Chain A
Amino acid sequence: MITLKGIPVSPGIAFGEALVIDNDGFRIHQSFVSANDVPEEVERFKTAFEIAKQEIDASAKAASTELGKTYGLIFQAHLAILDDSTLCRQILEKIEKELYSAPYAISTIFRQYAEKFKNIPDNRLSLRANDILDLEMRIMKIVMGVHSESLTAIDKDLIVLAHNLTPSETTNMNRNCIRGFVTEIGSKGSHTAIIAEALEIPAVLGVGKFLDLVQAGQKVIIDGNQGIIYISPTPDVTEQYRKILSRQYELNAQLNNLDNVPCQTKDGTRIRILGNMELEFEARNCLNRGADGIGLYRTEFLYLTNELQLDEETHFQKYKEVVQVMNGKPVTIRTCDIGADKIIKDLQPDEDRNPALGLRSVRLCLSMPEMFRKQLRAILRASAFGPIQILFPMVSTLSEWRRVKMIVNDVFEDLDERSVPFNHNIPLGIMVEVPSTVMMIEEFLENVDFISIGTNDLIQYTVAVDRTNKDVAKLFNGCEPAVIKLIWKTVTAANKVNKPVSLCGQMASDPALTMLLLGLGLRTLSMPPGAMRDIKRVCSSLDLLRCREIAFRALRTDNAGDIQSLLQRELAAILPDYRPEE
């Protein structure tokens, strides 16, 4: 058994087999099929090749027009390789005579060729090994992604182990088979973490170098609560986790009942629970868990997957779909918040030495007004179909906010001129996530319709810690007294002038912090759907007066550690059966 530790970014426990993605692409399981399944495997191999050819053909056409004939030629060569009769015969033989599964056969043969190329002494020719591996990766993605049955040949449950995962890799995976993510690098707030939360599966990131120790198909247990991964676990460990899992199922069955009950505290105060989401399917998850609306609809994903520049129509359709799914419940759409940790090829400015403090989020949008206008138009058009509010990230000064509003007004006029229907009273709000905004919160509140506190960035900018840097990640803590004071100042100011305030960072989904947040005056929390049951359950056991006392005690405490133990103790007293992490 190998035990690995990393950063837990999405809770839960799962069993599965290792799906290893390394530099050469998917590391394929050694897998064999029964003689009866051979025709099916042959069919899968042929279909995968056909789809790959269609894809390459499309790329070839695009490349020829945009980049000239030379680039088209590479694709033509790739097409010719897939037509190579010897190659196809060799793969067929592996399947028919040695009973390899289609993916294993394809991978084995392609890697043999890659090896051959690497061994050719002439440098220019050996470079072709990369072409072969590219092709292999393309076909493997087709086999793994499109044909779910190809995965059943290995096993149903897979834990993805990778160095890092790109957004397109995570979206192309067959989600029905993926039970968890483990990566060598990455941390809370990274794309993989967000996807894992959306899928409600455990993820442990930032494990450090480990892929060399793992073979595809090995048994893996991932503990997303504690950030531990077991490769080839012993029977004792397996048994222990089976017990935990069955307890979890029981608890979940009880919590199911909470979905249809509005969230309120023990003393009857209504707490609004909103959903954080990114992919359209999550809107339904939020609704099923009884969310009162969407508090944070992240739109970066649309920029990250469509490598092309923003297409207004695509955005409009997605926004409209979400609004219609939410059926009258408000949807808060956050404009493009591309940041330091979400690199995007087309938009990445010149090499940025300090990206968290650089051209990101609303600053990036203001520097590319045409792109910004397109997104605003899409959002406004969708506002004709249901209640939408627009949330602008990372606004740090009032002059910046005025520039944003000017552009919004431009877009208003533009749409009016074309008589496009939209909600002229659409609420405009800001994320409060930079300390300068908190210091000026009274002035901001006179100029905005609502605010939402983004704790992830607020913590980063307050204690000056990059949570993705493992040497200092420990300093990243929502219980830092300075952070709590900033939240308190913000919420108090908003409540005083009756402007809606919510909190949508990770702190909102931590049951141990709910008491503190309610005590500080928050009545609206926005979180991933997976966290809603836990938070509702905690809320229903809380007494607001007690929360107030706890919050004030926290405000008088001078260090994060003491605040954390205070909150843990209180939670344990209220919910004795709640098992905090660690």
Chain B
Amino acid sequence: MNRLVTVANPDGLHMRVALMISECAKKYNATVTITKDSETVSARDILQVLTLGATPGVTLKIDAQGEQASEALNAICALF
């Protein structure tokens, strides 16, 4: 399952948000990925999330697979 989100934070997807995303993703038994344009990274990997370079207003696709996919998806989308 997946959902589209828009980066609302005026600083973009910066270190603090990236840290929260990666910590959140690690809590669930699910594989969560974030896609920007054609680039897809694991939500657990903070460095990869940061290198997406997601500036304010950019749209990202969050995808979750696995046992707790819907819980993970909800929790992560709530961070944007």
Contact = CB atoms under 8 A, between A and B. Distances in A.
B14 interface: yes
Nearest to B56: A122
B59 interface: no
Contacts of A84: 45-48
Interface residues of A, number: 21
A146 interface: no
Contact of A122 (B12, B45, B47, B48): B12
Interface residues of B, number: 21
B44 A85 contact: yes
A128 B12 CA distance: 13
Contact of B55 (A80, A86, A122): A122
A110 to B, nearest CB: 10
Contact of A125 (B16, B23, B44, B50): B50
Contact of A80 (B14, B46, B51): B46
A73 B16 contact: yes
Given A84-B45, A85-B42, A86-B42, A77 B51 contact: no
Given A120-B53, A122-B55, A86 B47 contact: yes
B19 interface: yes
A76 interface: yes
A86 B45 contact: yes
Interface in A84-143: 84-87, 113, 116-117, 120-122, 124-125, 128, 131
Contacts, number: 57
B24 to A, nearest CB: 12
Contact of A76 (B13, B19, B47): B19
B11 A77 contact: no
A131 B15 CA distance: 10
B34 interface: no
B30 to A, nearest CB: 15
B59 to A, nearest CB: 15
Contacts of B72: none
Contacts of A128: 14-15, 50
A125 B55 CA distance: 8
B48 A80 contact: no
A80 B53 contact: no
B60 interface: no
Given A84-B46, A85-B44, A74 B51 contact: no
Nearest to B10: A124
B32 interface: no
A77 B18 contact: yes
Nearest to B51: A116
Given A86-B41, A122-B12, A125-B12, A77 B55 contact: no
Contacts of A116: 51
11 contacts: A73-B15, A77-B16, A77-B19, A84-B46, A84-B48, A85-B42, A85-B44, A86-B47, A113-B51, A125-B50, A131-B15
Name the 3 nearest CB pairs between A and B, nearest first: A120-B53, A84-B47, A80-B46
